[in-house]
Amino acid sequence: MMRPQVRIPLVLFSSIVLIATTVHAQTLLPWIVDESGNLQKVETAMVFAEDPAAEPAETDQVEGESKTTGEQQQPPQPTEPAVPKLSPQMAAFRDQVRRTLSQVYAYSVDAQGNLPAEVIEFCETFGNTAEIASGGRSAQKINAVGAVCWNYPCGGYKLLRTDGKQIVAQVGYGHQNRPAQLLAMLARNRVPPSYELRIGDHQGTVADLIASEKRACRQGLDQSATLIGLAFYTEPGETWENDLGETWSVERLLREELDRKPDAGRIDVVDRLAAISFALKELKKDKVSSEVWERAQKHIDESHDYALGLQNADGSWHPGFFAYRGTSSDSAGSLYATGAILVWLVDSLPKERLEDERLVRGLGYLHKQLASVSGRRSATSSSALAAVGQLKAARALSLYDTRYFIPRTPKEPAAAPAPSQQANQPADGRSSPEQSSRSRSTSRR
């Protein structure tokens, strides 16, 4: 199903100026490593693509022409919608959040001290233009999405492998924390299937990774990240076969995740809810409705209330996620669990619930914890749990900025770009200029 071309705003932040623009050119992979291990600059530029829900479908009508007479008409003058006002307290909180996010971006991840899974988490937090240092923190900056897609060594490990035909993202220590984690991150950042992957001399694209994850579908296993990736990259109603010859679809993946019973005391329970929520959004965009869709929506609505009911008075959740209620002396574990739960809640709650005092209290807890370490300790110098916990906390705050603060912040005059939070905004890869302005429907294939 072809989708219309539309425009999507680009959000930029840092100490702090916000701007909005319809198209913004960036280099997705400004630096790569050649076969000799030397940094080489890539000149090919990318252009952010479009959000299918932002504007109505295109027609054959000529711009400026009347539908009835064909005569040229003056385009209507745009009117700025009324901006809901923030209370002084929330405006102050917004500014504090943005300062802290800028500090986290500057001091968090580099290729020398962080593993691929941590770089993937960084990309989830700060989007497809986020950069990491190619070595230690003072080294040349490279694009973070490009680094994992071009198999740049992170923490001494390379994420991708190939047998010369297939491209596989490896799972385990030094690689992905769970199957399809890389594909899920690419889907959230709307990186198109045409974006290039490299493993030594072998060249492929994200489409090869999509095919690999389709072949790896398995009944009864954790397929939360697979659901996220394939809900974005497949056509409505599409089916495929895994390497066992079994027929799969996004609807089957959704049903499998609904039927799965993860450990309530581990992050798996939140990963599952986040995947179901993401799939529901994609199905809603595709206007797909079925019994499994209705079942999933009911489950998510009930889970929202259940999760909020487990929150502690200080805004945190127990390190045991949904298995326990109460505070803990394990501060890193509490930050990790609270960050993960709030990422899901902020991303999936309906917009009319974003002012829920429990949600705001949880975000206040995250900000307080994050502000106490940002600028003084990087993710490199933290434990693995603390490093990912800090990134999850930053991601929850960044999502809240996008969903709640930005719509309530008057637009400022255009300013110089700053480190940006662009999670869930599209990005074209090393494609031709003609490909760069395609709609999301084209870029998802």
**Rounded Cα gap, residues 96 and 92, in angstroms:** 6
Q: Which helix (H) or strand (E) holds 10?
A: none
Q: What's the pLDDT band for 29 if we cut at 50, 70, 90?
A: very low
- For 112-147, how does the pLDDT look when each residue is reduced to its tens digit (9 = 90+)? 999 999 999 999 999 999 999 998 777 899 999 999
Query: Is 10's pLDDT higher than 50?
Result: no
The pLDDT score that the predictor gives to residue 241 is 98
**Rounded Cα gap, residues 287 and 289, in angstroms:** 6
CATH number of 25-54+92-408+420-443: 1.50.10
- Stretch among 67-81, 199-213, 280-294, 322-336 having the lowest mean pLDDT: 67-81
The pLDDT score that the predictor gives to residue 420 is 41
**Rounded Cα gap, residues 22 and 9, in angstroms:** 5
Cross-strand bridge partners of residue 160 = 169
- For 157-184, how does the pLDDT look when each residue is reduced to its tens digit (9 = 90+)? 999 999 888 999 999 999 999 999 999 9
CB 429 within 8 A of CB 46: yes
The pLDDT score that the predictor gives to residue 428 is 45
- For 406-423, how does the pLDDT look when each residue is reduced to its tens digit (9 = 90+)? 999 887 765 554 444 444
Q: What's the pLDDT band for 1 if we cut at 50, 70, 90?
A: very low
Q: What is the pTM of this model?
A: 0.78
Query: Is 148's pLDDT higher than 90?
Result: yes
Helix (H, G, I), strand (E, B) or coil at 253: helix
Domain positions in the chain? 25-54+92-408+420-443
Query: Is 62's pLDDT higher than 80?
Result: no
Q: What type of residue sits at position 304?
A: H
- Stretch among 1-5, 240-244, 278-282, 411-415 having the lowest mean pLDDT: 1-5
Q: Which helix (H) or strand (E) holds 137?
A: none
Mean pLDDT value of segment 57-79: 45
**Rounded Cα gap, residues 413 and 424, in angstroms:** 24
The pLDDT score that the predictor gives to residue 23 is 26
